[in-house]
Amino acid sequence: PFKTYRISLGKQPKGPKLMEGDKRTPEGFYWLDWRKTSDRFNLAMHISYPNISDSARSRREGVEPGGMIMIHGTPDSEDYPEQYFHTLDWTDGCIAMRNIDMREVWSLVPDGTMIEIRP
């Protein structure tokens, strides 16, 4: 590894994402395909979920795969300071990082980068 970071996952972190709303983070190979700034999560990079395998599984199961999975920063407010989130799996299926770490990844990793998310 070039560098490692502490991350937070979906509220149900065991097992791959199966369908929309299951609070799981996808597992597999994806692309970081675009990015945006976010009022709520600071910086965010979109993950190309669902991939072909995810879409095929969803069709077989008759469920929606979900989407809008991001690697993003952490909320930071008076009521909920950033350190509140750092040791929890709290997202709806995204990958969250401390804001300082997210700024570093944002500056180092270009759109079009392939990533692997694995347990």
Delimit the domains of the chain by residue range.
7-117
Q: What pLDDT shows up at residue 76?
A: 81
With respect to CATH, is domain 7-117 assigned 3.50.50.60? no
Mean pLDDT, the chain, as a whole number? 92
pLDDT at 36 over 80: yes
Rounded Cα distance, 54 and 16, in Å: 10
Q: What global pTM score does this model have?
A: 0.91
Nearest by Cα to 41 from 102, 114, 105 = 102
pLDDT at 119 over 90: no
Strand 95-97 relative to strand 70-72, pairing: parallel
DSSP assignment letter at 105: H
Whether residue 50 has a cis bond before it, omega within 30° of 0: yes
What is the mean pLDDT of the segment spanning 54-79? Answer: 92
Highest mean pLDDT (candidates 2-6, 37-41, 91-95): 91-95
**Location of structure tokens 């929890």:** 88
What is the mean pLDDT of the segment spanning 59-66? Answer: 95
